[in-house]
Structure 1
Amino acid sequence: MKTLIIARHGNTFGPGDTPTRVGARTDLPLVEKGREQARALGLYLKAQTLVPETVYASPLLRTQETAQLALEACGAKVSVQTLEFLREIDYGPDENQTEEAVVARIGLEAIRRWNEEAVVPSGWLANPENIKDCWLSLAQDIEKNDKNIILVVTSNGIARFAPVLTGDFESFRRNHSLKLRTGAMGIFLFDGQSRKVSAWDVRP
């Protein structure tokens, strides 16, 4: 049995900050709350006997920090491997803009379709089929490897496509939110015959 844990990075905005849509071109560090979330992730994995044997993260600072802090908290002695496909999507003209400005440009319906159906709004630079293919390729690599517990740290725009691993993305999105909150995770189990979601949007 293989266990794939897909975690979203921790918070990058503090209580007094104005949140923006942070994508591929905006490389923010974690704030203190985000660092706490990363440590909580690691402690949770340790408590669940899910100490990672392999760890992947995007090149972005927020995912690298989350992965490193989680590893320290759970006592895993492995290095973080960087995968480019895990980099957050590029929000195009909406990159690093406030949600108010984004809604003013693309409208609430486009936001709803992104949140519920993973339909990419006009101007955003993302190819859903390519992202899904990358998830499937990673899963195939995991199944061939001798490591059984794998942690992936990425961002929301990429993580939302991971349920393609179940073989029925459309059914998943109709029955679940595609979003992972900051510091939350999804857990997939591979038994050699199927890939199933055992948890989604769990925040330690």
Structure 2
Amino acid sequence: RARQTAAAIAAATGHPLDGPLPWLDEIDHGPDEGQPEAQVLARLGPEALTAWDERGIPPQDWKVDAPSRIAAWKDWFARKGEGADLLVTSNGAARFALLALGLPLANLKLRTGAFGELTVEEGAGVHLIRWDERP
């Protein structure tokens, strides 16, 4: 879905589509992949999902590699460049942007169809403009 969304945005804006960034790949939810939310909640318990949504701590059996994702976000924010970048990813991968910046919110999650906006200014750092907003 992320690649389809990115392709549609690129076509609509006339900007070229860059290749995928592996650190933005969707989280592997292990035994919970494709399961209804109620079933995932019953298996994991509310504490595990709260830890994931509030602190980015993945539930048992999910394959996340949080340290690598945080490092990749830090590298992305540190690179030099001009203009605007649009990154399309799942909420599981996006939450690590906030953790990389030390900007924990009450909830790190981006709901389906929502977006986050950050600015990166040389010498001024990275600033959160908005998070979990739907157009």
Pair in the same fold by TM > 0.5: yes
Match in the other structure for 1:203 = 134
CA contact (8 A) 1:165 1:195 kept: no
Displacement after TM superposition at 1:131 (Å)? 0.9
Matched, 1:161 2:96: yes
Equivalent residue letter for 2:132: D
Equivalent residue letter for 2:92: G
Match in the other structure for 2:58 = 120
Separation of aligned partners in 2, 1:156 and 1:63 = 11
Match in the other structure for 2:10 = 71
CA contact (8 A) 2:71 2:100 kept: no
Displacement after TM superposition at 1:177 (Å)? 2.1
Match for 2:112 among 170, 179, 182?
Answer: 182
Displacement after TM superposition at 1:65 (Å)? 0.7
CA contact (8 A) 1:66 1:153 kept: yes
Match in the other structure for 2:68 = 130
Q: Summarize deviations over 1:75-112 as a string: whole Å, max 9, x none.
A: 22312321111111111111111112212211111111
Separation of aligned partners in 2, 1:117 and 1:165 = 12
Match in the other structure for 2:39 = 101
Q: Larger radius of gyration, structure 1 or 2?
A: 1
Which gives a bigger RCO, structure 1 or 2 (Cα 8 Å, sep 6+)?
A: 1
Displacement after TM superposition at 1:125 (Å)? 0.8
Segments of structure 1 that go 5 or more residues without pairing to the other structure are 1-61
| Alignment map for 1:3-14 (pairs within 5 Å) | none
Q: State TM-score, norm by structure 2.
A: 0.89
CA contact (8 A) 2:110 2:131 kept: yes
Match for 1:140 among 67, 75, 78?
Answer: 78
How many pairs does the alignment contain?
Answer: 134
Segments of structure 2 that go 5 or more residues without pairing to the other structure are none
Equivalent residue letter for 2:73: W
Match in the other structure for 2:86 = 151
The 4+ residue runs of structure 1 with deviation greater than 4 A are: none
CA contact (8 A) 1:185 1:203 kept: yes
Equivalent residue letter for 1:196: H
Match in the other structure for 1:4 = none
